[in-house]
Structure 1
Amino acid sequence: MKNPILLDIPSQLDTERLILRAPNRTGDGSIVNQAIRDSFSELKAWLPFAQKLPEVEETEINLRKAHINFLKRESFRFLIFKKETNEFIGSVSLQGIDWAIPKCEIGYWINTKFSGSGYMTEAVKALTNFGLNHLKFNRIEIRCESTNLKSRAIPEKLGFELEGVLRNDDLSADGSKLTDTCFYSIIL
């Protein structure tokens, strides 16, 4: 495989209802930060980054670092926008990339007010297809806490195989207890 830095990676992917765009615009931090604030209680239960409300500047820094990682081909974070209204919906990423295999993991979160409309399933499907067909990954994984039923529904709908449940594999988002991790994958 050629050096990943030479890969032509589009900064935007389109689906029927969504635009997935790399976090490459100044000011993305304020819209993402607002979504984190709007969904804080739901995100706090599952995501270590959402244990305290970030300042807008912290979110902006995080997104600029994500853009650098995108350019370095170390991970590919996309911000999700609703095509009709340009509202920010959430974030989806190809992360934990191992170019030697090649394989990666998909991570995601959604603004609570858009939950239950199939948007995240649509975004994850688009990123899965992109990873398998454009980047030629041989394996894509999704890991989530066993009790996070909404998150588990996405790989199950998209034909990922549950390879197993890793017992006492991780700490809860707040670090207070051991949790089990569901391990899903899809392969070529």
Structure 2
Amino acid sequence: MKPILIDFPEEFYTERLFIRKSMPGDGKAVYEAIHASLKELKPWMPWAHKEQSEEEIEANIREAHAKFLTREDLRLHIFNKDTGEFIASSGLHRINWNIPKFEIGYWIDTRYSGKGYMTEAVTGITDFAFTDLKARRLEIRCDYKNSKSRAIPEKLGYSLEGILKNEGISADGKDIRDTCIYAKY
């Protein structure tokens, strides 16, 4: 079956969160979240080192929306269920529909960090992937030095399958880094 023919929900809820595909018009909220969080994002996200306008971010979101529709990549935006405020971005990436397997990536608006939102979101996305997408494998890959990012899969029962030595480059492009691979199946 062609991935574009696979039907599944495009939104779901957790206790405090509304999680849905990225949509045209999300650019302003994402732009504001990125700019409020640049200090915390720069050590881990290469894209945080490039100055982006609100228009560029909106264009990127529209491209992500198109990829969601074609099932190439499933970017998800996370909102507070009660207030509608944008909290974080996540998604299911590096998809292999033949297995099916996915990699979960994530970042959070610093103003909402430390409140358990990302752990709750990743729990919801994990459940969504196994239940609705029939995933056989989920991965979370992160920089060995990113203790906050590593804490989430560790808290959620993902297994640390390995640490790839000298596998990545730091977000600023200056250092060689190790990458942790966590998995659940």
Pairs aligned (count): 185
* CA-based RMSD: 0.9
Q: Where does residue 9 of structure 1 map in the other structure? A: 8
> Per-residue CA shift, 1:6-50, capped at 9, x if unaligned?
11122211111000121123x210110000000001101100111
Match of 1:162 among 160, 163, 167: 160
| 1:117 counterpart letter in structure 2 | K
Measure the CA separation in 2 of the matches of 1:73 and 1:154: 26
Measure the CA separation in 2 of the matches of 1:107 and 1:43: 13
| 1:90 counterpart letter in structure 2 | A
Measure the CA separation in 1 of the matches of 2:34 and 2:82: 22
Moved segments of 4+, more than 3 Å: none
Q: Secondary structure at the match of 1:53?
A: coil
Tell me the percent identity. 54
Instruction: Specify every segment of 5 or more residues in structure 2 that has no aligned partner in the other structure, as ranges.
Output: none
Q: Secondary structure at the match of 1:24?
A: coil
Q: Where does residue 18 of structure 2 map in the other structure? A: 19
| 1:32 counterpart letter in structure 2 | V
Q: CA deviation at 1:101?
A: 1.6
Match of 1:144 among 139, 142, 146: 142
Q: Where does residue 91 of structure 2 map in the other structure? A: 93
> Per-residue CA shift, 1:42-77, capped at 9, x if unaligned?
101100111123100110011000000000001111
> 1:28 touches 1:63 (CA, 8 Å); kept in 2?
yes
Deviating more after overlay: 144-153 vs 2-11:
2-11
Please, what TM-score do these two structures have when normalized by structure 1?
0.96
Q: CA deviation at 1:133?
A: 1.4
Question: How does 1:175-186 map onto structure 2 within 5 Å?
Answer: 175-186=173-184
| 2:143 counterpart letter in structure 1 | E
Q: Where does residue 130 of structure 2 map in the other structure? A: 132
> 1:40 touches 1:53 (CA, 8 Å); kept in 2?
no
Measure the CA separation in 2 of the matches of 1:109 and 1:13: 19
Measure the CA separation in 2 of the matches of 1:53 and 1:123: 27
> 1:144 touches 1:182 (CA, 8 Å); kept in 2?
yes
Please, what TM-score do these two structures have when normalized by structure 2?
0.97
